[in-house]
Amino acid sequence: MPSIFTKIVNGEIPSYKIDEDENYFAFLDINPLAKGHTLVIPKKEIDYIFDMDDAMHAGLWNFAKKISHAIEKAVPCKRIGIAVIGLEVPHVHIHLIPINKVSDMNFAMPKLQLSKEEFEETAEKIKKQLS
């Protein structure tokens, strides 16, 4: 069965898309730790990041780097925190999170409740910084 992220890539489930290319896709996390919390994934469905082949793995990080620069221009923050967890969704994803202090990376914290408009506005701001 396709993962929820494959369904997002295929447009079967809606997402606040940031960017995509032939191999990778970036979209806002639906339960964000911060405004701008973005997930970067390979389109190819692989569960565990260290099972990726070297080229695909390196490409994922290069794509994440590009997206991170756009997020930090769009969302005021000290830097972009990075996490790879993958306990909930078995499809490789890198969390990119605007942070100001170490506790901003605490996944046990309550997530933000954002409106559709807030998600859309955040996605637009980040997308603008890509072009």
**What are the residues binding ligand 5GP (CB under 6 A)?**
4, 13, 15, 27-31, 39, 85-89, 93
Q: Is residue 37 among the annotated active site residues?
A: no
Indicate the residue among 4 and 82 with the shorter CB distance to ligand 5GP: 4
Q: How many whole angstroms separate alpha carbon 87 and alpha carbon 102?
A: 21
- Taking the complex as a whole, the smallest distance from the CB of residue 59 to ligand 5GP amounts, in Å, to 20
**Considering beta carbons, is residue 13 or 58 the nearer one to ligand 5GP?**
13
How many CB atoms within 10 Å of residue 25? 21
Residue 72 vs 93, nearer CB to ligand 5GP: 93
Exactly one of 57, 69, 91, 93 is catalytic; which is it? 93
**Residue 29 Cβ vs ligand 5GP, minimum distance, rounded to whole Å:** 5
Listing DSSP states for the chain in one string gives ---HHHHHHTTSS---EEEE-SSEEEEE-SS-SSTT-EEEEESS--S-GGGS-HHHHHHHHHHHHHHHHHHHHHS--SEEEEE---SS-SS--EEEEEESSGGGG-TTSPPP---HHHHHHHHHHHHHHH-
Q: Minimum distance from CB of 128 to ligand 5GP (Å)?
A: 20
Q: How far is the CB of 31 from ligand 5GP (least distance, A)?
A: 3
Q: Which residues are part of the catalytic machinery?
A: 93
